[in-house]
Amino acid sequence: MLTDTSSLELGVSEFVGLLNQTLDFAYPNVVIVGELANFRVSKNRWVYFDLKDDNASVKFFGTVYNLPGPLEDGMLLKVRGQPRLHNLYGFSVNVISLQPAGEGSIRRAADLLRAKLASEGLFDESRKRPVPYPPQRIGLVTSKQSAAYADFVKVLKARWQGVSIELIDVQVQGEVAPIQIASAIEQFSAQAEPPDAVVIIRGGGSAEDLSSFSTELVTRAVASSRVPTLVAIGHEVDLSLAELAADRRASTPSNAAELLVPDRTQVLEQLQAIAADLQYYGARHLQQARNDLQEQSEALEQRLIRILELLKAAVGGNRQLLEALNPAAILRRGYAIVRHDGQTVRSNRILKAGAMIEVQLAAGSFDAAVKSISSPKGSI
């Protein structure tokens, strides 16, 4: 064992290796907060920047995949990384994760990202889809231990029954929160039978607490969700980028439940009012139908009476005509029917003197012989 390091001689590469081993053991990763300076992106992949305060500056190296969104010099950042001594480029911190720190920097980062995503159309109203009302199955993304989860479930069950809730428990703040939230949204979208709606909720907090929901990773995950989304983050005054990208926004987690399902008490009252209206209008229409039927029946009866009267009059007229044309009636007036050889005699031209004729009277008949025939004086 070496006890005196002052006499230790190392090559440059050996020194770099030894120092990195020491750093790996003593400081596997560190969190550094400072002002962003000299920020630049190389080849759309590599990220270089410094963090500084009034007395020092430290170099950092990472990739664009570490970025929460657009950044600019002057922002306050919180960076987790691994201190390393590069054998060619010197000392720097390899970025594991980073996020804006401080309300001003968080708001500025959100403004930059908002402008970028807005230019891509991610917040356009034309992209918004209707959220099923009420949904039968909800995919919920939040922390199971949070008050937001408890409030949402309580309000939802108090208002409506029969809605299935599938929860993916995630962290809603901190370094891993954006990755977990985005992954949960993607899991629901990837299901063979996805839920009717994906709901992302979180209760109130500071700007830093809510910053995960204004990261590019989460905002793009919400915008690209296969399932209609509803997002409620913080209090009514809070507005995250994820809410702007969602199909619908709620002011609070409790309000999200109110927007998803109706109030069964109000629905029951409405149904009762509708039933009463149906009963009233049904009785009214039924009575009107009865009145119309009665009027039609009376009109039909009057029409039938008039038809019968007309028929009676017609029958009476026909009877009179038949009576007038009845040969028996003519005979009763003193006329007779003369027949010769079974034929009715209408002219004396068919008769000769001595011909036998049959004379039919109104009462009885007799036979006679023609004595003489006189010439007709005119046509009969």
Model confidence pLDDT, tens digit, residues 117-163: 999 999 999 999 999 999 999 999 999 999 999 999 999 999 998 89
| 3 state DSSP class of 339 | strand
> Cα separations (Å) of 107 from 100, 102, 211, 301, 365?
9, 9, 9, 87, 136
What mean pLDDT do residues 107-122 have?
Answer: 90
Distance between CA atoms of residues 205 and 143, nearest Å: 14
Distance between CA atoms of residues 142 and 293, nearest Å: 65
Q: Which of 310, 288, 307, 311 is nearest to 299 (CA)?
A: 307
Most confident of 177-191, 278-292, 309-323: 177-191
> Cα separations (Å) of 174 from 148, 185, 208, 266?
17, 18, 9, 41
When pLDDT is cut at 50, 70 and 90, the band that residue 377 belongs to is low
What mean pLDDT do residues 332-349 have?
Answer: 80
User: What pTM was estimated for this model as a whole?
Assistant: 0.64
Q: Is the pLDDT of residue 230 over 90?
A: yes
Q: Is the pLDDT of residue 343 over 50?
A: yes
- What pLDDT was estimated at residue 344? 83
Question: For the purposes of burial, counting CB atoms within 10 Å of the CB of 278, is it exposed (0-12), middle (13-18) or buried (19 or more)?
Answer: exposed
- Rounded to a whole number of angstroms, the CA Rg of the chain reads 55
Q: Is the pLDDT of residue 8 over 50?
A: yes
Model confidence pLDDT, tens digit, residues 24-81: 888 888 999 999 999 999 998 999 999 999 899 999 999 998 888 889 999 999 999 9
What mean pLDDT do residues 282-296 have?
Answer: 89
- What pLDDT was estimated at residue 124? 94
- What pLDDT was estimated at residue 88? 86
Q: Is the pLDDT of residue 259 over 90?
A: yes
Token couple for 204: 């109130």
- What pLDDT was estimated at residue 6? 61
Token pair 């009277």 is at which residue? 361
CB 242 within 8 A of CB 219: yes
CB 356 within 8 A of CB 345: no
Helix and strand tally (H, E) in the chain?
Answer: 9, 14
SS3 content of the chain, % helix, strand, coil (to 5): 45, 25, 35
When pLDDT is cut at 50, 70 and 90, the band that residue 376 belongs to is low
